[in-house]
Amino acid sequence: MKYIFPEKFWWGSATSGPQSEGTVKGDGKSKNIWDYWFEIAPERFFDGVGPQNTSTFYQNYKKDIQLLKQTGHNSFRTSIQWSRLIPEGIGEVNDKAVVFYNNVIDELIKNNIEIVINLYHFDMPLCMQQKGGWENKKVVEAYAEYAKKCFELFGDRVKYWTTFNEPIVPVEGGYLYDFHYPNVIDGKRGAQVAYHTALASAKAIQCYKEMGQNGQIGIILNLTPSYPRSEQNAEDVKAAHIADLCFNKSFLEPAIKGEYPQDLIEFLKQNNALPQYEQEDIEIIKNNTVDFLGVNYYRPRRIKAKESDVIYKDIFMPDNYFDEYDMPGRKENPYRGWEIYEKGIYDICTILRTEYNNIPFFISENGMGVENEQKYINEEGYIEDDYRIEFIKDHLKWLHKGIEEGANCKGYHLWTFIDCWSWTNAYKNRYGLVALDLETQKRTIKKSGKWFKELSENNGFEY
Ligand code: BGP
């Protein structure tokens, strides 16, 4: 069977500034929370490899953009690092950063690659975190100024912007489950952070619209459909609904509908965790919804009614109300420990089509991180990652079905084009279409990279 995608479909991949550029001596970038956390707790990072060891895009962007061409990209997403562009968080712009981002943008245009620029990928400048990060409304204002500066500097050429990548993840990592700095465990503070992030996004959209820029602006959310252990068990269904409210709807609804769901508000109220807010900000969220959505999809969330003991009795934690359900027989990526459930991508298509006014979206991340890929190197010296090709095809089949049924999907971006530094997992799992030799920085296209080019050229594949 042939799976052909709509005309002008985006085929490409995503990366982020902190994971591909890192910091280079003399580049004028200030520290972000990753640089700092690595300084104080290097043991939290796989093999003790920190954010200075990225895939050297800062130095090799020209070469890498040629690799994008060679792997069939017609579009590409990266992010601007706030700590690079405005090292103090507010005020003075770093000229070297402007030159660098201009070069990257111009080089992508020269190569006919559509650019999506994201403004924030987990990378709070340290100076802003020291002011309280997203808990402090002043940081929201500073972010809006930073966004405005980006539009002023690059908006003449960049026509697709996103305000945040996976804004729920810094809430989970930094304020619930201890896998991002500042390692707080407190759902009430997490709710404040989430709300301020949604507000920051709306404020950036407001600036964008007021400036009369002639492009589009959206947000990238990692949607993890919540599946109850049993549809017949009312307690499981309720638990799955709470997880959905906390981890999907908490950003989906304000971003697309401009409002929070009433049951999320009630849930937070009952837990004395409603964030502080001002009426005028509620209006800003209402009036500044997104033009489009980026959807990162890696895995579903399986949920059952709470069975385990509540660990933090005196603190509000969403998971006081549900347990993760380890479904027997689930297909899994053992290196990452994530379930692989291809149909989830189709379910997202259906949810967006039926509950979110069929908003235009693209798959902005999907991918498979694998450990020790070196063992798959063939005689010709490149990695034969057939499992990655299968993974992509299996997801695309379901995406195709979603599109056939009317979902407004405009593209598919893989995470990621070249093996890169992945937060606390550093280089443990490799995701790239292109292999990176960490010693020599040599880049070698994998089998999946060659296949991806065909996929893009044929605007689909046969299966
Ligand atoms: C997404 C992030 C990416 C990337 C990817 C892979 O959540 O947006 O930045 O890292 O996940 O996950 P990980 O690096 O944790 O394996």
Query: Candidates 81, 364, 423, 429: which one to mutate for ligand 1, based on the most atoms within 8 Å of Cβ?
Result: 423
Q: Is the CB of 226 under 6 A from ligand 1?
A: no
| C-alpha span between 431 and 348 (Å, rounded) | 23
Sheet holding 301-304, edge to edge: 226-228, 301-304, 323-324
Q: Tell me how far apart the alpha carbons of residues 364 and 387 are, in angstroms, rounded to a whole number.
A: 20
**Residue carrying the six token digits 């307690």:** 235
Taking CA atoms only, the protein residue closest to ligand 1 atom 15 is 422
**Long-range Cβ pairs for the range 337-343 (8 Å, 24+):** 338/298, 338/299, 339/299, 339/300, 339/302, 340/299, 340/368, 340/391, 341/299, 341/300, 342/394, 342/395, 342/397, 342/398, 343/398
Residue 379: exposure state from Cβ atoms within 10 A (0-12, 13-18, ≥19): exposed
Which H/E stretch holds residue 362?
strand 361-365
Q: What is the amino acid identity at position 204?
A: A
Which residues neighbour 89 within 8 Å (Cβ) at sequence distance 6 or greater?
A: 30, 82, 83, 125, 127, 128, 131, 139, 142, 146
How remote is the CA of residue 422 from the centroid of ligand 1, in Å? Answer: 6
Structure tokens at 375: 């063992």
Q: From start to end of 84-140, where are the E strands?
A: 114-118
In tens, the pLDDT along 258-280 reads: 999 999 999 999 999 999 999 99
User: Is 19 in a helix, a strand, or coil?
Assistant: helix
Q: How many helices (H) and strands (E) does the chain have?
A: 16, 17
In this prediction, what percent of the chain has a pLDDT beyond 90? 99
Which candidate in 21, 166, 253, 373 is catalytic? 166
> How does residue 359 score in pLDDT terms, banded at 50, 70 and 90?
very high
Residue 249 C-alpha to ligand 1 middle, in angstroms? Answer: 20
Q: Is 118 in the pocket of ligand 1 (CB under 6 A)?
A: no
How many Å lie between the centroid of ligand 1 and the Cα of residue 425?
Answer: 9
422 in ligand 1 pocket by Cβ < 6 Å? Answer: yes
Does ligand 1 lie within 6 Å of residue 13's CB atom? no
Q: Ligand 1: which atom is nearest the Cα of residue 423?
A: 14
| 114 in active site | no
Question: 34 falls in which pLDDT band (50, 70, 90)?
Answer: very high
DSSP-assigned states of every residue in 381-433: SSB--HHHHHHHHHHHHHHHHHHHTT--EEEEEEE-SB----GGGTTSSB--S
- Rounded to the nearest angstrom, the distance between the alpha carbon of 167 and the centre of ligand 1 is 12
End-to-end, the C-alpha distance of the chain in Å comes to: 5
> So what's the pLDDT on residue 386?
98
Measured between alpha carbons, how far is 285 from 225 in angstroms, rounded to an integer?
24
Residue nearest to atom 13 of ligand 1 (CA): 422
Please state, rounded to an integer, the average pLDDT across all residues of the chain.
98
Q: Is any ligand 1 atom within 6 A of the Cβ of residue 402?
A: no
pLDDT score of 70: 98
Q: What is the predicted pLDDT for the residue at 183? A: 98
Task: Check pocket membership of 123 for ligand 1, CB cut-off 6 A.
Answer: no
Check 114, 339, 342, 365 and give the catalytic one: 365
d(CA 83, CA 346): 37
- Give yes or no for residue 333 having a pLDDT over 90: yes
365 is catalytic: yes
CA dist 204 → 64, 91, 289, 417 (Å): 30, 17, 10, 28
Confidence of residue 22 (pLDDT cuts 50, 70, 90): confident
pLDDT class of 365 with cuts at 50, 70, 90: very high
Segment (H or E) for 39:
helix 33-40
pLDDT of 296 higher than 90: yes
